[in-house]
Chain A
Amino acid sequence: GAVVSQHPSWVICKSGTSVKIECRSLDFQATTMFWYRQFPKQSLMLMATSNEGSKATYEQGVEKDKFLINHASLTLSTLTVTSAHPEDSSFYICSASGGTTNTGELFFGEGSRLTVL
């Protein structure tokens, strides 16, 4: 299957700083990427849908000014957690669609574990 790469895989930062997470589709062009957050023992929660060249669509309750999403190219989307706080500590996962009409063909990144001290 197609490969989606996330970087960094884990990051520790101080409260108040910003952290950027990258999501890359390595061998296909992803017109749409999705960002999820997963707390321990919880399901993946969709944060936002990112379309190349346009503004991201955020889910209800997700602060767009806090979680900045940029999808500047067909192979790269970034999530920036601005002014991070301990409650933002979580596992962030991106996924990308490979242009197929098969709804099940979503490819996930390895995830990025954020710890805010």
Chain B
Amino acid sequence: QKEVEQDPGPLSVPEGAIVSLNCTYSNSAFQYFMWYRQYSRKGPELLMYTYSSGNKEDGRFTAQVDKSSKYISLFIRDSQPSDSATYLCAMTASGAGSYQLTFGKGTKLSVIP
């Protein structure tokens, strides 16, 4: 079993839809969870960052972490064509000073106008 599992998609939704992206993981030591957005042929950019369990909201984006289920989600409300990208979940076990992230494969999202 891979440490981080993420459905690669592709996922295609109409503009304005609510998008749900998910990752599961097996390492119970993971405590820091990130979502990155990667446009084609570009490096990833950090979207959301959460520590331990709970929810975090930033504009149209909401990140959820359920450590008991080892499951994390990213919700995008009122999706826009500009949201079309690959979304990568990433996580790490240690705190400050440890940046060695374990990434999911990424989910390719297309938002159709």
Contacts and interface: CB of A to CB of B under 8 A. Distances in A.
Interface of A: 1, 4, 6, 32, 34, 41-46, 49, 91, 93, 95, 97, 101-111, 113
B43 A108 contact: yes
Contacts of B36: 108
B100 A49 contact: yes
A44 B95 CA distance: 20
A95 B94 CA distance: 18
Contacts of B67: none
B46 A105 contact: yes
Contacts of B96: 101-103
Contacts of B44: 44, 93, 108
A111 B44 CA distance: 9
A106 B49 CA distance: 11
Contact of A41 (B8, B41, B88): B8
Nearest to B49: A104
Interface stretch (B14-22, B77-85, B103-111): B103-111
Given A44-B88, A103-B92, A104-B49, A34 B100 contact: yes
A106 B99 contact: yes
B101 interface: yes
26 contacts: A34-B100, A41-B105, A43-B6, A43-B103, A43-B106, A44-B88, A45-B103, A49-B100, A91-B41, A95-B43, A95-B99, A101-B97, A102-B49, A102-B96, A103-B32, A103-B49, A103-B94, A103-B96, A104-B32, A104-B34, A104-B46, A104-B49, A108-B43, A111-B41, A111-B42, A113-B41
